[in-house]
Chains A and B, each alone.
Chain A
């Protein structure tokens, strides 16, 4: 299954790919482990995910071509 990735802030410097192909992963917990294995620096950063523009509060299932945003703590204003 292919997932589109949107990385922001500090995380855009860590995750430089725009999509991942994940086989055998079907939810955001699985995606997190996959990304943290591929980009170990991610483990040292606090971040939230949004799936198709909805911020993830708990493990969420993923569908083919879902867009997942990876967002470090906000610092606007």
Chain B
């Protein structure tokens, strides 16, 4: 593992559209960038039998997740010519319709940004010890499973 500082990716609650807009705006000074890849995960109001998902409550094994994310980040930077990459994952309660994951990659040309963005999303979902509890409108719950 490199000596670079391990970055936090976790934010409490939903990721606001204002935060996303500000993140994009911050890149206007990085004029070598020619393309951004952005993925936004949104809590889906799934219907299961008679129950409707009202929110997802996220928990994580934070230390292990951040270490793993650090390794993924290093892999991705090695594989793609990126200018920068930012990742935010919600913890705690995120209501249906709100944003729970924000992956933002930038490069001089579009293709690496798009490919890196997709790869980060896939690896994050498969490899990071994070769990989503789907809270139904009637107060019952089930544990989310990634497809």
Chain A positions within 8 Å of B, measured between CB atoms, are: 6, 8-10, 50, 53, 55, 69, 71-77
Contacts and interface: CB of A to CB of B under 8 A. Distances in A.
A69 B61 contact: yes
Given A73-B145, A73-B146, A76-B132, A8 B59 contact: yes
A76 B61 contact: no
B110 interface: no
B129 interface: yes
A4 B100 CA distance: 31
Contacts of B126: 74
Contact of B145 (A6, A69, A75): A75
B131 A74 contact: yes
A72 B63 contact: no
Contacts of B128: 74, 76
In this complex, the member of A6, A50, A77 whose beta carbon has the largest number of chain B beta carbons within 10 angstroms is: A77
